[in-house]
């Protein structure tokens, strides 16, 4: 089955004031059946000038739990969105600079 994996991201400053909230799209993946509570491994998220990106520096992987699965039966083809637990990124602490 094909899944679109998404994750809510809150960007805050050092004073814990919310600067932005967005949904990061991890992409579309083919996988056997997923369920709420399952874990997904992926690169850690970081900030590059307020844009949420993967932090692909060595050893920067993380595991997140699936919190919701949404199946859209209205549109064709049927789409399945998988939502991971939300994360909070702090400007100044989660910046990855110019690393590619």
**Across 89-100, average pLDDT:** 70
**CA distance linking residue 91 with residue 72, whole number of Å:** 35
pLDDT band at 78 (very low <50, low <70, confident <90, very high): confident
| pTM tops 0.95 | no
pLDDT band at 27 (very low <50, low <70, confident <90, very high): very high
**CA distance linking residue 35 with residue 52, whole number of Å:** 26
Structure confidence at residue 96 (pLDDT): 67
Structure confidence at residue 99 (pLDDT): 52
Structure confidence at residue 95 (pLDDT): 66
Average pLDDT, the chain: 89
pLDDT band at 26 (very low <50, low <70, confident <90, very high): very high
Residue 100 has pLDDT above 60, yes or no: no
Residue 50 has pLDDT above 90, yes or no: no
User: Quick one: 16 exposed, middle or buried, by C-beta within 10 A (0-12, 13-18, 19+)?
Assistant: exposed
């Amino acid at each position: 089955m094909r899944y679109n994996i998404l994750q809510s991201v809150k960007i805050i400053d050092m004073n814990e004031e919310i600067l932005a909230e967005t949904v990061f799209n991890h992409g579309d993946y083919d996988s056997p059946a997923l369920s709420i509570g399952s874990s997904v491994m992926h690169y850690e998220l970081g900030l590059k000038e307020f844009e949420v990106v993967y932090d692909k520096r060595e050893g920067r992987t993380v595991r997140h739990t699936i919190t919701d699965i949404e199946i859209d039966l209205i549109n064709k083809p049927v789409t399945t969105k998988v939502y991971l637990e939300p994360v909070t990124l702090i400007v100044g602490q989660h910046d990855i600079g110019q690393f590619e």
